[in-house]
Amino acid sequence: MTVDVRDATLDDIAGCHHCLDDVAKEGRWLSRLNAPPLGGFAAYMADLHHARAPQIVAVDDKVVGWCDIRLDASPVRAHVGILGMGLLRAYRGKGIGSRLLQMAMHRARERGLERLELSLLHENSAARALYAQFGFQIEGRRLRDWKHDGVYQDSILMAFVFD
């Protein structure tokens, strides 16, 4: 399996949308259960692109994963990026997530970001371990943060500060 990890382009919008929808429909990893409508998603990706925000994709004939860093809108948090990432089930556990994260963090540093934040489900130990491997620290826990099918789950807040 040869998976290319590269900067996203606006030509990747449909592929990223489909990938996001597949991961969201698993109902386990993201704070949504499906992708937003394509038009809104396209506007989101275009906004990231025009802001020079890091957007990385993993491609194996189609988009199989992504890592993006949304810039905080507040002027006093202009140095902060909010990281989101996902990978199709068949591509997990193969080092692709590490490649996505490494490139996204490199682009964030180039962009001048000083702090990256994310939140993930407490039960997502694989993602927690990946982020810890890259130097992210746990900063907090939101109790009963997510509720799906009547089941509550805590989320973990993690952050990385560039030296």
Give the model confidence (pLDDT) of 69-97 as tens digits: 999 989 999 999 999 999 999 999 999 99
Single-letter amino acid code for the residue at 85: M
Residue 122's closest CA among 156, 85, 84, 83? 156
Give the model confidence (pLDDT) of 30-75 as tens digits: 777 778 899 999 999 999 999 999 999 999 999 999 999 999 989 9
The domains located in the chain, with CATH, are 4-161 (3.40.630.30)
**Half-sphere exposure of residue 69: CA atoms within 13 angstroms, side-chain side:** 29
Cβ contacts of residue 129 below 8 Å, gap of 6+?
none
Task: Locate all alpha helices (DSSP H) within the chain, ordered by sequence.
Answer: 13-25, 38-50, 96-111, 125-133
Res 1 pLDDT > 70: no
Question: ∠ at Cα 67 (99, 80), nearest 5°?
Answer: 110
